[in-house]
């Protein structure tokens, strides 16, 4: 049970990264971006391309760091993939969502178009890599670290938690301390006033997509390291992402963090009582329950 909670926290921290991006975008552009899950997949596969292809080709050695399952290749691929998916997210906004916004399209049209974008990303992955599960480094098992109460945690998972803490703290500092971060919060708070104040809200929107895309890529890679890569991995994350976002109050970054951890733990702990295939329905049921009982989420005002 302790072990399930720990695995839940690892899974939950990954969900949190994705949910934070989703909630930031919603806070500023006010629509449900169904392509967000597939940003996770895109990030994971861009890193895969780098680790097994590009970086191998240019001769970066295939060593590993200590007892982790990856080394320099991943250390390079990780930030590069975040940057690439940030670019994809910004590009998608520029060529698709921005035009729809300019035409005054409502949130439903935007959400439907994001569903289309999600299919496009997924199909590109399917065409390039096929439908099988893939690994960054197949067949490598690393000894787990023994924790009290008989629980075990793998070194990779410790690193995943560490990375999530680093990324979330950086984002927190960015939003609280920097001019651009504060302008992002201001735009989420009151877009019309931000414009009247002289803030270039279109530029803020670009930043928001970039950050959301980068965090999604990080989440996808971390999940790939922890479990495996699959073209539908991002799609399967979509319900947990939305559940976490709604639970933590849509638009609230810290809520998304707590929501993500809650959903992750609930999903993993449920496997003690239910078949593992019910993990996804567990997230779905939680989402439905929040929507019925407290649709404004835990941090929302009545």
Partner 1 sequence: MIILSAKDITVGYTEVDILHEVSIDVQAGEIVSIIGPNGAGKSTLLKTIFGILKPRNGKVTFKDWDITGLKPNMVVRKGISYVPQVDNVFPSMTIHENLEMGAFIRNDDYSQRLREVYDLFPVMAERKKQKVGQLSGGQRQMVAMGRALMLDPQVLLLDEPSAGLAPVLVSGIFEKIKDINATGVAIIIVEQNAREALKMAHHGYVLAMGRNVLDDAGDALLANEEVGRLYLGG
Quick one: 169 or 197, whose CB is closer to partner 1?
197
Q: Is 302 in the site for partner 1 (CB under 8 A)?
A: no
CB 120 within 8 A of CB 34: no
- Sole binder of partner 1 in the list 62, 146, 189, 296 (CB under 8 A): 189
Map residues 153-182 to x or -, x wherever contact with partner 1 holds by CB under 8 A.
--------------------------x--x
The set of residues, in sequence order, having a beta carbon less than 8 Å from that of 231 and lying 6+ positions away, is: 41, 122, 125, 126, 129, 130, 131
Distance CA 238, CA 119 (A): 13
The set of residues, in sequence order, having a beta carbon less than 8 Å from that of 21 and lying 6+ positions away, is: 36, 39, 211, 212, 213, 214, 215, 216
- Sole binder of partner 1 in the list 83, 151, 186, 269 (CB under 8 A): 186
Which two three-digit tokens encode residue 8?
């839940």
Cα→Cα distances 270→3, 227, 264, 275, 281, Å: 12, 18, 10, 8, 10
Q: Is 15 in the site for partner 1 (CB under 8 A)?
A: no
Quick one: 148 or 179, whose CB is closer to partner 1?
179
Quick one: 14 or 257, whose CB is closer to partner 1?
257
Quick one: 44 or 184, whose CB is closer to partner 1?
184
CB 234 within 8 A of CB 42: yes
Q: Which of 269, 71, 41, 72 is nearest to 155 (CA)?
A: 71
- Sole binder of partner 1 in the list 108, 197, 276, 288 (CB under 8 A): 197
Map residues 209-248 to x or -, x wherever contact with partner 1 holds by CB under 8 A.
----------------------------------------
Which two three-digit tokens encode residue 172?
């927190």
Using CB under 8 A as the binding criterion, the count of chain residues that bind partner 1 stands at 16
Contacting range for partner 1; rule: CB under 8 A; set: 132-140, 185-193, 222-230, 280-288: 185-193
User: Which sign does the torsion angle of CA 240, 36, 18, 127 carry?
Assistant: positive
How many Cβ atoms sit within 10 Å of the Cβ of residue 189?
12
Smallest gap from Cβ 18 to partner 1, in A, equals 23
Quote helix, strand, coil % in the chain, to nearest 5: 75, 0, 25
Quick one: 76 or 186, whose CB is closer to partner 1?
186
User: Which sign does the torsion angle of CA 35, 36, 41, 46 carry?
Assistant: positive
Q: Is 185 in the site for partner 1 (CB under 8 A)?
A: yes
- Sole binder of partner 1 in the list 66, 139, 148, 198 (CB under 8 A): 198
User: Which sign does the torsion angle of CA 85, 180, 172, 28 carry?
Assistant: negative
Map residues 120-159 to x or -, x wherever contact with partner 1 holds by CB under 8 A.
----------------------------------------
Q: Is 192 in the site for partner 1 (CB under 8 A)?
A: yes
Smallest gap from Cβ 249 to partner 1, in A, equals 11
By CB under 8 A, name the binding residues for partner 1: 179, 182-183, 185-186, 189-190, 192-200
């Amino acid at each position: 049970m302790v072990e399930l909670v720990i695995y839940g926290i690892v899974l939950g921290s990954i969900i949190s990264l994705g949910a934070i991006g989703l909630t930031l975008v919603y806070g500023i552009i006010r629509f449900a971006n169904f392509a967000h899950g597939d940003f996770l997949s895109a990030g994971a596969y861009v890193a895969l391309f780098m680790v097994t292809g590009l970086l191998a080709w240019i001769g970066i050695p295939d060593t590993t760091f200590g007892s982790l399952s990856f080394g320099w290749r991943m250390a390079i691929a990780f930030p590069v993939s975040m940057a690439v998916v940030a670019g994809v997210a910004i590009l998608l906004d520029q060529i698709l969502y921005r035009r729809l916004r300019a035409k005054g399209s409502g949130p439903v049209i935007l959400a439907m178009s994001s569903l289309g974008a999600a299919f496009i990303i997924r199909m590109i992955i399917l065409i390039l890599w096929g439908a099988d599960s893939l690994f960054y480094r197949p067949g490598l098992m690393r000894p787990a670290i023994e924790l009290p109460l008989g629980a075990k945690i793998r070194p990779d998972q410790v690193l995943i938690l560490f990375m999530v803490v680093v990324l979330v703290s950086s984002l927190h500092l960015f939003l609280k301390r920097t001019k651009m971060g504060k302008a992002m919060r201001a735009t989420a708070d009151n877009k019309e006033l931000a414009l009247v104040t002289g803030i270039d809200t279109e530029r803020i929107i670009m930043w928001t997509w970039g950050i959301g895309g980068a965090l999604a890529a990080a989440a996808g890679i971390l999940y790939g390291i922890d479990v495996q890569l699959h073209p539908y991995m991002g799609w399967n994350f979509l319900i947990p992402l939305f559940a976490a976002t709604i639970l933590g109050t849509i638009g609230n970054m810290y809520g998304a963090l707590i929501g993500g951890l809650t959903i992750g733990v609930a999903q993993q702990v449920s496997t003690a009582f239910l078949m593992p295939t019910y993990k996804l329905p567990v997230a779905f049921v939680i989402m439905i329950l929040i929507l019925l009982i407290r649709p404004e989420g835990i941090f929302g005002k009545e």
